[in-house]
Structure 1
Amino acid sequence: MAIEKGDFIRIKYTGKFSDGMVFDTTDEQLAKDNGIFNPRGVYGGDIIVVGSGQTIKGLDEDFVGKEPGYSGTLTVPPEKAFGKHNPALVETMSVTKLGDQLKGKNPYPGMPVEVNGKRGVIAQIIGRRVRVDFNHALAGKEVEYEYTIEEKIEDKLQKVKGLIALYTGVTDIEAEVTDDLIRIVTPLELSFNQRWLVSKMNIASELIERLGIPHLEYVEKHPYVPPTEEAPAEEAAGTTESEE
């Protein structure tokens, strides 16, 4: 059956520039070979919801009408990839505005910086002033994707785990799904995962809508840590005396 908007699919892909340079891939070995491996990344394939904007627009649109098992190559123009380069997002400012980010270093072209909560890179240095580009790093670039639609996901539990992995990079989430409840057990380490803190409400809303299940609850899981046994007061005192 052909892929439609709203379907959950598992995809493998590799994104390249026109010169063949790889900038993104679900293939772990290929990522390592091209120096873009992220130890916190998820490799082996992504589960996404077609038409929900979880990948670039041109690729998202190309999934529709394809059959599971399809493999192909797609060239995506900037406006349907990472956007056109917007000159209005390039700002000139004093070096002093970068504050402690320099940490005693001299600024240089390509240096990543953050100003007023916006991330950018230094594009040019003019005396004691810098031009900072806040466009996406790939804005203005035509890209090429090789991709395979491995399968259409029908199992609801797989959909839950796949969407959480896409948003957070965590693949070993414990969860259960019934006709009226999605229960997701969140391990303690997720409390420190910034991607989780930002995305948990979006994940809940999307799962409730996409799966047609009315309720979702997050359950925090804290491992039992036995209390440390302390020596009896008399024993402790005796030890002190003997040491004296």
Structure 2
Amino acid sequence: MAIQKGDFIKLNYTGKFVDGKVFDTTDEELAKKEEIFSPRGLYGGDVIIVGAGHTIDGLDEDLEGKEAGYTGNVEIPPEKAFGPSNPKLIETVSVTKFEDRKVYPGMGVEIDGKRGVVTRVIGRRATVDFNSPLAGQVVNYEYTIEKVLEGDVEKVQGLLALYTGLREMEVEIEDGVVKIGIPTGLTFNQRWLMAKNRVATELFKYAGLKEIQLIEKLTAEPEIPMPSPEEAEAEAEEAPEAAAEENAEAEN
């Protein structure tokens, strides 16, 4: 059956620039090989809802009409990938901003809380691009649709994994009511606190559930690492493409 908006699917993918350089992947070995591996990453495939904004527009649109087991690739222009480069985010600053460090093109910097890359140095002035490294880029995604999820428990667990990075959380469903066991450490985890309302909204809309009960679990297990508030907000608001941007920024 052809995949359509609202379907829960398991997706494996690798994102590349036009020169073939990998910036994001669900393949752990490839991530290590390309030196973009993140210990906090969830490898082995993402569960996403088609049409729910869990991935970039160009890839999301290409999924529709395909079937489980499909393998292919799609080239995506900036406007349907990570957006065009914004000239307002390119600034010229004095090299005194860099605290006597030697400034050179390609250098990653942080100024006034903004991360950017030096693109040019002329005399005592440097041009810094504060755009995302993925902005303005044509990208190519090679992907495989592993399967379409049918069971409600599998759908809930998959969506929770997407937002929390935890696989197979405790989930029970009866008569449209889902009970989710919240493990030790996740209760006050900023990533979860920012994401749980969105998770609930998507489960009501796409899984047809009537009620969600979050049941706090207190155990002696180690606490789940908590990202900074800034990281949590970005991860909660963005879909899997946020990980792609994080990997690309780490290379600069």
Please tell me the TM-score bracket, short chain as reference. Answer: 0.7 to 0.9
Change (3 A) 1:87 1:65: same
**For each residue in 1:50-89, what CA deviation from the matched residue of structure 2 results, as whole angstroms up to 9, or x when unmatched?**
0111111100000000111111111111111111111122
Which residues of structure 1 form unaligned runs of 5+?
Answer: 226-244
Pairwise CA distance, 1:191 = 3.6
Q: Tell me the SS of whatever aligns to 1:189.
A: coil
> 1:62 aligned to 2:59?
no
AA in 1 matched with 2:206: R
Which residues of structure 2 form unaligned runs of 5+?
Answer: 222-252
CA distance in 1, matches of 2:220, 2:165: 25
Q: When the two structures are aligned, how many residues end up with a matched partner?
A: 220
> 1:140 aligned to 2:136?
yes
User: Over alpha carbons, which structure has the higher Rg?
Assistant: 1
AA in 2 matched with 1:13: Y
- Name the counterpart of 1:232: none
Pairwise CA distance, 1:224 = 6.1
Normalised to the residue count of structure 1, the TM-score between the two structures is 0.79
Indicate if the aligned counterparts of 2:116 and 2:131 stay in contact, CA closer than 8 A.
yes
- Name the counterpart of 2:171: 175
Q: Report percent identity of matched pairs.
A: 54
Pairwise CA distance, 1:39 = 1.2
More displaced, 177-186 or 140-149?
177-186
Q: Where does 1:34-183 land on structure 2 (aligned, <5 Å)?
A: 34-92=34-92, 109-113=106-110, 115=112, 119-123=115-119, 131-183=127-179
CA distance in 1, matches of 2:88, 2:192: 31
- Name the counterpart of 1:12: 12
- Name the counterpart of 2:233: none
Q: Tell me the SS of whatever aligns to 1:150.
A: strand
AA in 2 matched with 1:196: W
CA distance in 2, matches of 1:220, 1:121: 43
CA distance in 1, matches of 2:102, 2:198: 40
AA in 2 matched with 1:61: E
- Name the counterpart of 1:239: none
CA distance in 2, matches of 1:217, 1:144: 40
Indicate if the aligned counterparts of 2:58 and 2:81 stay in contact, CA closer than 8 A.
yes
Runs of 4+ in 1 over 4 A off after TM superposition: 92-98, 104-109, 118-132
- Name the counterpart of 2:191: 195
CA distance in 2, matches of 1:192, 1:120: 31
Normalised to the residue count of structure 2, the TM-score between the two structures is 0.77
Pairwise CA distance, 1:132 = 4.4
Indicate if the aligned counterparts of 1:113 and 1:122 stay in contact, CA closer than 8 A.
no
Indicate if the aligned counterparts of 2:14 and 2:27 stay in contact, CA closer than 8 A.
yes
Change (3 A) 1:106 1:192: farther
Q: Tell me the SS of whatever aligns to 2:204.
A: helix
CA RMSD of aligned residues (A): 2.6
